[in-house]
A and B are shown apart, each in its own frame.
Chain A
Amino acid sequence: MAARRATKKQAAPKEELLKYYKDMLLIRRFEEKAGQLYGMGLIGGFCHLYIGQEAVVVGLESVAIEGDKRITTYRDHGHMLACGMDANGVMAELTGRIGGYSKGKGGSMHMFSKERDFYGGHGIVGANVPLGAGLAFSDMYKGNKNVTFTYFGDGAANQGQVYETYNMAELWKLPVIFVIENNQYAMGTSVKRATKSSSFWERGTAFSIPGEQVDGMDVLAVRAAGQKAVKHCRAGKGPYILEIMTYRYRGHSMSDPAKYRTRDEVQKIREERDAIEQVRGRLLDAGATEAELKAIDKDIKDVVNAAAEFAKESPEPDPSELWTDITVSA
């Protein structure tokens, strides 16, 4: 029932690799810029960067079809960019401006796009997991073939409501993919210190939910696992668990000095397993030129700089916005 970790190296044509390269690089450059704006005081409160984990969302979005839904935690900027939300709107939400996806009222952790089927952006660890099952329930009820990607971290994977959700999801055969982004640290607590059995996907076997562990630094491995998962869900066979082994290079949030791990540990992964570098290597092997890649880098820098400008220039919400969107007028 449960699949073993896929070891076969995947391959892909150059055009496909180029798309992954662009999508991952956009997330990385966007996050670097967000970090700068935070340092300048233009972004406040909490800001959780996705740098290092880009292959997870880019790999999974490559298997999504129109109408598929996604829901995640507060480390959400990458998910929004990967599902096609506009960089300007995301950045302007980070600066709390009217041009942001939530009119500046939600901030970094709480952003939504009905148009792109992005259901947040949630601030409480684990609390988005039952909501993801609810989204999947709506698709099952409507009888379509859509699935819901429900993302959460290794920290959330120890929350009780995750297992209540597993039970219902399998019982009702909900088309939901539980994506555990295992970046090995729940804020500052390593998986080893917080979890008795460190294999999270295996916990699904208690509920008869199949799953597997995936190399989250390899976008093609993520894509291959995602293909398997969506096939299972779209066939009406119920939920699937992907435990994606990834790594965040920056602190938990901007206020985390990350003293719970060594510089060497981070450096080693950056040098040896970085997702973007891996695709870059594959592209060069597939005949891409340095000039071609440089041109992509420049285009992405332009998009990110434009987003930062937009986020600075978009005005603050009108004071009257304080009193809107509290309840829907009946």
Chain B
Amino acid sequence: MEFMTWNFAMQAIDQIINSAAKTLYMSGGQMGSPIVFRGPNGAAARVAAQHSQDYAAWYASVPGLKVVQPFSAADAKGLLKTAIRDPNPVVFLENEILYGRAFDVPKLDDFTIPFGKARVWREGTDVTLVSWGIGMSHTLEAADELAKDGVSAEVIDLRTLRPLDMATVIESVKKTNRCVTVEEAWPVASLSDHIGSEIMREAFDHLDAPVLKCTGKDVPMPYAANLEKLALTSVKEVIDAVRAVTYR
């Protein structure tokens, strides 16, 4: 089931949440809803408030759904196959800007990627950067910049947002003792907030700094070019957050 954009899926959000996500539970396991909802999520360019919204945190909060947001083309392919084979409703969040970006894709007959497994894009020792989807663009670029200054960042792409691979994140934080999350959505009740609270619960004694989040600003998406840039998070914000948690 393709949505032209997830912005338009709000017209069908009752069917996604009240019907697709809850039927298995409400029927005592008799019947479920094996369906994949896919389409671009988040901001494109200059399409303003009603067409630029990141729904990752909304859907990831719903029990009964599986939620996926790939960054690389290989992950998009492998996760989409897994989504189609999964017997549950899957919310598959793509990104319009990433459609134009090229990645290597392995040539395999049956290439799948399991849900609930994060990918460590680069290993590091000084800070853990956690992101997914388009947020990975800023995160990897920031990690490159930080490396030039001698800051070694470990970069984790969550790939699946429900179920969430917290084990990989916790393991990394125990090594680096610092964490910054990077997310396109609004800051309030964000996935970053959830990840931060899980880290606090599971790895509090390992933290040398508070977990910081880089998110979209707490405003509807403006149309004006200068304001749109300010509304989105950026490579600079990620670098600044890393400097703050590493006290450099």
Q: What is the interface of chain A, defined by CB distance below 8 A to chain B?
A: 44-46, 93, 96-97, 102-110, 122-127, 159, 161, 316-317, 319, 321-323, 326
Contacts and interface: CB of A to CB of B under 8 A. Distances in A.
Contacts of A44: 45-46, 223, 225
Contact of A124 (B8, B44, B224): B8
A159 B8 CA distance: 12
A322 B219 contact: yes
Contacts of B50: 109-110, 122-124
Nearest to B222: A105
A124 B230 contact: no
A106 B223 contact: yes
B11 to A, nearest CB: 7
A45 B226 contact: no
A316 to B, nearest CB: 5
Contacts of B224: 96-97, 103-105, 107, 316-317, 321
Contacts of B51: 45-46, 109, 123
B46 A316 contact: no
Nearest to B4: A187
A106 B47 CA distance: 9
A325 to B, nearest CB: 9
B151 interface: no
Contacts of B87: none
Given A46-B51, A125-B8, A322-B222, 15 more contacts: A44-B223, A45-B45, A97-B224, A104-B222, A105-B222, A106-B49, A107-B46, A109-B50, A123-B49, A124-B7, A161-B11, A317-B222, A322-B219, A323-B217, A326-B219
Contacts, number: 90
Contacts of A316: 224-227
B226 A317 contact: yes
Given A44-B46, A106-B49, A109-B50, A159 B11 contact: yes
Interface of B: 7-8, 10-11, 44-51, 217-220, 222-227, 230-231
A interface majority secondary structure:
loop
A107 B10 CA distance: 21
B8 A322 contact: no
A96 B8 contact: no
A107 to B, nearest CB: 3
B219 to A, nearest CB: 6
B219 A323 contact: yes
Contacts of A159: 11
Please give me the 3 A-B residue pairs with the lowest Cβ-Cβ distance, nearest first. A107-B223, A45-B46, A123-B50
Nearest to A125: B8
Contacts of A127: 11
A290 B17 CA distance: 63
20 contacts: A44-B46, A44-B225, A45-B51, A46-B47, A93-B223, A96-B225, A97-B224, A104-B224, A107-B224, A109-B48, A109-B51, A124-B7, A124-B50, A126-B11, A127-B11, A316-B224, A317-B222, A317-B227, A322-B222, A322-B231
Given A316-B224, A317-B224, A319-B226, A124 B217 contact: no
Contacts of B46: 44-45, 96, 107
B133 to A, nearest CB: 20
A63 B42 CA distance: 42
A242 to B, nearest CB: 25
Contact of B223 (A96, A124, A126, A161): A96
Nearest to A103: B224
A322 B223 contact: no
B225 A319 contact: no
A105 B10 contact: no
